Amino acid sequence: MEIALLIIVFAGLFALGVPIAVCIGLSTLTTMAMTMDFLPAVTTIAQRMAGGLNSFALLAIPLFILSGQLMAQGGIARRLVEFSKAIIGMVPGGLAFVNVISCTLFGAISGSAIAATTAVGSFMIPEMKKEGYDKNFAAAVTVTSATTGLLIPPSNTLIVYAVASGGVSIAALFIAGYVPGILISLALIMVCAIYARRHKMPAGERVSARAALGYTVAALPSLFLIVLVIGGILAGIFTATEAGAIAVLYSLLLSAVIYREIGIADIASICLKAAQTTAVVMFLIAASIAMSWILAYENIPAMVAETLLSISDNPIVILLLINIVLLLVGIFMDMTPAVLIFTPIFLPVAVALGMSPLHFGIMLVLNLCIGLCTPPVGTILFVGCALAKTTIDRMIRPMIPMYAAMFVVLMLITYIPELSEGLPRYFGLID
Amino acid sequence: MLSVAKAVDAALRALLVVLVVMLVFSIAWQVMSRYLLDDPSPWTEELARFLLIWIGMLGASLAFRQRAHLGLELLPQKLKGTAAVVLKYFTLFVIALFAITVLVAGGSNLVALTWELRQYSPVLGMPISWVYSVVPLTGTIIVFYCLVQALEDDADTAVSRGVGEL
């Protein structure tokens, strides 16, 4: 009974366009008000919200958001693009590969798909267009390959999942994201190769060995961030949260001192932007923590698990069902709220089927990456669309083979646990 | 009222920048004091956690001002004329309702309870009620912003979309 009320209030407000955090908060409040007095109900929610943010793990989020924004404006993307061109630009269809690889590298130093889309796309989309590529294809390549940054560490989405799942190690999730992220990148490169062959795309210009060396040297300080952040976590020198602070200081050094692309005046505005983005995430997290308490109180996850397992006890079927539901969720909901709302609901089912919380998290995030590229709610799709000065419906056609490629990777990740768990196990981060 | 809103905006912005800088330095200091001074600083973690609560809450109120919170935009973008105006006021009403009940009423009660129980933070010895006082403060600012947005034209609201892949 109470749960029906929760779903109706949430879905009704959500459909009307009320901010999701408020939908979560008010649906939680109506549900709680059914079983307790008003003042204890609102006090409990307020306490869960503020107390929920009182977490050291969550501190990694503002720090990686800040370092991502410093990097987006710090001229790092351009150097990664030049570096990728020097490596692979000379083959037929080279610029498309350069686009995918630059986005993946950018994702490996920052955790923001939007930053990757903007930073890499603003160079690559005009350039690909100039070389005769369809601008819709160019935008589609940028948008889909930018999602790899959400799996390849550092990744804010994986941190949100770590908190929502109630304690999966951030370090293990970070390392687990490499193989799936690189698989998506490879799958997209294959789509690009087929496109380049079919449309007889030209080879990019060959750069001299000397210039290639120059580009590599210029990109090295950016790439060193990977060694510093991930190496530091793996070596046990600092925690994921502390790695975030190190990433902020290093990207500040990089963009303000080494590449000299931002000044003191920019820093305040970047800090403010980071604070605002952080706050949007934190407010959602705070509200979700209040809701997950009432979900557990009402025994919802167990009920969902029971219902799903009554449909079939075949793990292959159930996981496919969960993936289909999540793909539908991803079409209408942004990634962070989707992770926060559906982790407490589906994780117990996955665990009951013998899936590890680590593996489930990677599958969840990869699944929602596809949703990030689908209309009507696909933030980076809109950014790519604006950069290419095109419309969403024109972008859908070139997107279709890319959705298919990402879906194939999703199925591989879902049914082969080793792809997610192998690397963290090798480094001794899980048993 | 709009000039008051501008002053509140400016104060919030300045405060958020200061809090973010403090956050970065306290975590960075945590690493440095451990390795460089060989004397891990005890207060950095607690301070950083409290800063996060303040940044999250106060930043969220500013995000309401700029309509940066995530939501399904399909209906608001489709509606025109009277229906759009009705939906705008309904949404503002719902946001204000949430802010008044949970953040202002619930938050004030939370502050009062922790004050009466004399709860102090373990390391800094700071009253927990001070930390939680940001909750009713945020609620009040959100209600104020809802009123401002109800009075002003939509065109005046600086909408900052695209906080990304959130």
pLDDT (average), residues B17-40? 91
For A217-244, the pLDDT digits (tens) are 999 999 999 999 999 999 999 999 999 9
Sorted by sequence, the CB contacts under 8 Å of residue A260 that are 6+ apart come out as: none
By percentage, how much of chain A surpasses pLDDT 90? Answer: 78
Residue B156 reports pLDDT greater than 80: no
Q: How far is CA A223 from CA A110, A228, A247, B94, in A?
A: 11, 9, 12, 47
Q: How confident is the model at residue A58 (pLDDT cuts 50, 70, 90)?
A: very high
Enumerate residues 273 to 312 of chain A having a beta carbon within 8 A of any beta carbon in chain B: 274-286
Angle formed at CA A70 by CA A68 and CA A74, multiple of 5 degrees: 115
pLDDT given at position A361? 98
Task: Say whether B165 sits in a helix, a strand or coil.
Answer: coil
Per-residue confidence (pLDDT) for residue B154, from 0 to 100: 64
**Are the C-beta atoms of A15 and B72 separated by less than 8 Å?**
yes
Kindly state the average pLDDT of the residues B108-123: 94
Locate A325 and state its tokens.
């539901």
Tell me whether residues B28 and A25 touch, CB distance under 8 A.
no
| pLDDT confidence band for A35 (50 / 70 / 90) | confident
Beta bridge partners of A28: none
Q: Do A271 and B20 touch (CB under 8 A)?
A: yes
Q: What is the per-residue pLDDT for A47?
A: 95
* Minimal Cβ distance to A278: which of B50, B55, B160: B55
Q: Which residues on adjacent β-strands are paired with residue A203? A: A92
Higher pLDDT, A299 or A216: A216
β-sheet bridge partners, residue A84? none
How sure is the predictor about A115, in pLDDT bands with cuts at 50, 70 and 90? confident
**Structural contact between residues B8 and B85, judged by C-beta atoms closer than 8 angstroms:** no
pLDDT above 50: residue B161: no
DSSP state of A177: T
Nearest residue to A226 via CA among A265, A263, A269, A174: A174
Closest Cα in chain A, distance from residue B120 (Å): 14
Q: Do B57 and A21 touch (CB under 8 A)?
A: no
Task: Give the chain B residue nearest A44 (alpha carbons).
Answer: B106
- Cβ-Cβ pairs closer than 8 A, A with B, add up to 231
Nearest-CA distance B81 → chain A (Å): 16
pLDDT of residue B47 exceeding 70: yes
Write down the pLDDT at residue B160. 46
Give the list of residues 6+ apart from residue B13 with CB closer than 8 angstroms, or none. Answer: A272, B62
Mean pLDDT score, A285-312: 88
Among partner residues B23, B94, B160, which is closest to A13 by beta-carbon distance?
B94
What is the Cα–Cα distance from A189 to A98, expressed in whole angstroms? 9
pLDDT of res. A99: 96
Query: Would you state the pLDDT for residue B55?
Result: 97
Q: What are phi and psi of A378, to 5 degrees?
A: -150, 90
User: What residues 381-420 of chain A have any CB closer than 8 A to a CB of chain B?
Assistant: 382-383
Q: Which of A21, A114, A332 sits opposite B165 (nearest CB)?
A: A114
Query: Is the pTM above the cut of 0.95?
Result: no
Tokens at B87, concatenated: 């939906």
Residue type, A156: N
Picking from A41, A63, A147, the nearest residue to B24 by CB comes out as A63
pLDDT score recorded for residue B164: 42
pLDDT digits (tens, 9 = 90+) for B53-95: 999 999 999 999 988 888 888 898 888 889 999 999 999 999 9
Say if residues A336 and A160 touch (Cβ distance below 8 Å): yes
Given a cut of 50, is residue B165 above it in pLDDT? Answer: no
pLDDT (0 to 100) of residue B20:
96
Q: Any bridge partners for residue B120, and if so which?
A: B127
């993946």: which residue's tokens? A104
User: Would you state the pLDDT for residue B128?
Assistant: 94
pLDDT, mean over chain B: 90
Contact flag A272-B17 (C-beta cutoff 8 Å): yes
Q: What is the mean pLDDT of residues A352-369?
A: 96
Which range of A282-291, B23-32, B135-144 scores highest in mean pLDDT? It is B135-144
| Tens-digit pLDDT profile for residues A390-403 | 998 899 999 999 99
Amino acid at A128: M
Q: How much is the CA Rg of chain A, to the nearest whole Å?
A: 22
In this prediction, residue B157 carries a pLDDT of: 52
Between CA A154 and CA A264 the distance in angstroms is 25
Residue A374 has pLDDT above 50, yes or no: yes
For B71, name the nearest residue in chain A, comparing CA atoms only: A19
What one-letter code names the amino acid at A295? L
Cβ contacts (< 8 Å) between B60 and chain A: which residues? 21, 279-280, 282-283
Asked whether the predicted pLDDT for residue B163 surpasses 50, the reply is no
Q: How confident is the model at residue A269 (pLDDT cuts 50, 70, 90)?
A: very high
**Closest chain B CA to residue A376:** B74
| DSSP H or E run through B128 | helix B128-132
Can you read off the two tokens belonging to residue B155? Answer: 């065109």
